[in-house]
Amino acid sequence: MAEALLFPKKCLKCGKYLEEDGSRSLESCFCDACGREGISLIVPPFCAVCGVRFHAGDTHVCGACLKAPLKLGQVRAAAEYKGIVRDGIQLFKYHSKLAMAAPFERILFQTFLQYYENLPIDFIIPMPLHRSKMRKRGFNQAYLLSRNFKKMYDQAFGRPPAWDTDLSSLVRIRKTEPQTGFDIEERRKNVKGAFKSVREDRIKGKHILLVDDVFTTGATCNEAAEVLLKHGAARVDALVLART
């Protein structure tokens, strides 16, 4: 109660004061006006490979994946990149609203349990940032979206997970331009050669799950997966917060 009086809760988008109800949900971070679009969770049907949502029919492989197969085994996303998910990600990444990390992580962890809990994952790798961007931003959003996964898993199942988080086997060695505004081919060229595997002994024969915030064409995740596979990984999948 005292904390609420000293630091009253505000809408993270418009700054309007909110009633403190004790909720830690994503919706509670926004006022009614800013949060009216809500969350559009991605549920079947969707592409069995890239995870793009279909609005009719059954789950199958989409035309884009048939035409240009990904190096990734599969991609699973928590929500569509719209509404408070889109607004929250932009506030999180570009305005350092780190309060978004906890509700986003809970949403992403539920998606992890739904699609990956029964798969033999060896390592979870948050998508690395180039050191220049890390210095400028001050945090890696992919890491903050998954840093408590092990603790959350232990709390949910009463035992530690079989997988571990790996922050050293993949590094980003080339600074790239923001992907916004690029077409598919430009995105691929932009991230070509951006990653390097530095722990081949560690990843050889392993099933790796990449974690990132947004998946659009998949160029970034796919480039990282190609590098990991080239250096011995058995399979690379991706788990993302939002899918455009």
> Which tens digit of pLDDT belongs to each residue from 124-151?
999 999 999 999 999 999 999 999 999 9
Q: How far is Cα 8 from Cα 128, in angstroms, rounded to an integer?
A: 34
Q: Please tell me which residue, 174 or 21, carries the higher pLDDT value.
A: 174
**Closest C-alpha among 182, 181, 190 to residue 220:** 190
**Closest C-alpha among 46, 6, 12, 5 to residue 27:** 12
Mean pLDDT of all residues in 67-84: 97
Mean pLDDT of all residues in 74-102: 96
pTM: 0.93
Residue 24 above 90 pLDDT? no
Question: pLDDT band at 7, cuts 50/70/90?
Answer: low
Residue 3 above 50 pLDDT? no
Domains and CATH numbers, the chain: 25-243 (3.40.50)
The pLDDT of residue 167: 97
Q: How far is Cα 68 from Cα 127, in angstroms, rounded to an integer?
A: 22
Do residues 172 and 135 make contact, with C-beta atoms less than 8 angstroms apart?
no
Residue 70 above 50 pLDDT? yes
Question: pLDDT band at 183, cuts 50/70/90?
Answer: confident
Do residues 79 and 39 make contact, with C-beta atoms less than 8 angstroms apart?
yes
**Closest C-alpha among 69, 102, 81 to residue 37:** 81
* Helices 149-157/101-116 angle, 10° precision: 60
Residue 228 above 90 pLDDT? yes
